[in-house]
Amino acid sequence: MDMQQAISPGELAYQLSALWQRQTETWEMLAEGLASLRQARTRTFHVNGWRVTAQCNPARIKSSGAQVDADSLAKRPCFLCTENRPAAQAAVPYRDRWLILCNPAPLFEPHYTVVAIDHEPQRVGPAIEGLLSMSRDLDGRYTVFYNGPASGASAPDHLHLQASRAGALPFETQLAAQLAAGDPANGQRWLEWVRDEPVRIAVTHSSRLPVIVLMGDSKDAIAAALREVVIILGQVRPVEPEPMLNLFATYTEERWITWLFPRGAHRPRFYGTGEDDFLISPGAADLAGIVVSPRSRDFERLTDETMQTIFHEALLPAESFAKVRDLLARKGGR
């Protein structure tokens, strides 16, 4: 497919739906992962006003326990490269650069992994174009998201995105309600708009967990704004190879809505495989409200306090986020 070729609304979404249906019938690994998801136990928690669901899903243990240090990556074949993927795993090509695959250990139904055809490292810069184009071409039916290489990606050596049905993540529904709220002075509002043109940018109030929201109808403008946000995060908390974050995009009413969670740590301090540890490695979906706990004993020990610790240690500290807010507002002319 040519990079510039237009995709009619709904066409790509139809191809993905057909792929999922076909793969659940013909690929045993996906069928087993889907069965595990359907049997997963869930519990609901509240963290700083967010509604969060814990999901006990043993099929996700490989992802939660992935060793992502340089030595471990060098010792294993890249499982996202074509030559190393299961023969039964089919793909939908997308714009000459990506292959859309069914995730064999789904967190939701359906769940897709979108991999770069070429083997290149996980970086937000090259991901932004695919994230925005795909969310538009999926006609608002899916949300596309990105895990940073030290922010939940289990394959930081190969560029990839993921996609879920719009509204599958609890934070999405809470954000949609917030954006639809009428009076900005309403005490229930938790977004502060710090910039209006050419892209609207908001940050969450200090009583909430840190999130940055961007809205705009120009792909070039919103891509530039996202890159600016990444630069600011790097200024406030320099980390190699890139600022730690999880990024989401969807497209509705002829505009993009994107949001990102700025990170403070890869994993909480109590992460581990020991009896007293929690094998919980938060990525994009976790921070958006589906916290995966592959071990039953961890799931049963979760408390509001434990969940609070996971989010507060994974996300950017409040004082650092305040600096991000000030830099965004200053460059926006406010």
What average pLDDT does range 142-152 have in this prediction? 96
Q: In the prediction, which pLDDT does 185 show?
A: 47
Which conformational region is residue 328 in: left (phi greater than 0), alpha (psi within -120 to 50 degrees), or beta? alpha
- Residue 294 resides in a domain: yes
- Residue 162 resides in a domain: yes
- Residue 3 resides in a domain: no
Number of domains in the chain: 1
pLDDT above 70: residue 186: no
Q: In the prediction, which pLDDT does 59 show?
A: 87
The answer to whether 95 and 115 are in contact (CB under 8 A) is: no
Give the number of C-alpha atoms closer than 13 A to the C-alpha of residue 25, restricted to the C-beta side. 6
Q: Which domain holds residue 39?
A: 11-181+189-331
pTM: 0.93
What average pLDDT does range 11-15 have in this prediction? 94
Q: Are strands 160-165 and 142-147 parallel, antiparallel or unpaired?
A: antiparallel
11 CB-near residues (< 8 Å, 6+ apart): 137
**Can you tell me whether residue 159 is helix, strand or coil?**
coil
pLDDT digit string, tens, across residues 271-282:
999 999 999 999
Bridge partners (DSSP) listed for residue 56: 41
pLDDT digit string, tens, across residues 154-180:
899 999 999 999 999 999 999 999 998
Confidence at 6, pLDDT banded by 50, 70, 90: low
CATH number, domain of 80, equals 3.30.428.70
Q: In the prediction, which pLDDT does 70 show?
A: 76
- Residue 1 resides in a domain: no
- Residue 76 resides in a domain: yes
Q: In the prediction, which pLDDT does 3 show?
A: 41
- Residue 228 resides in a domain: yes
- Residue 131 resides in a domain: yes
pLDDT above 90: residue 142: yes
248 CB-near residues (< 8 Å, 6+ apart): 143, 144, 145, 146, 169, 172, 258, 259, 260, 284, 288
Q: In the prediction, which pLDDT does 183 show?
A: 46
pLDDT digit string, tens, across residues 101-116:
999 999 999 999 999 9
Confidence at 1, pLDDT banded by 50, 70, 90: very low
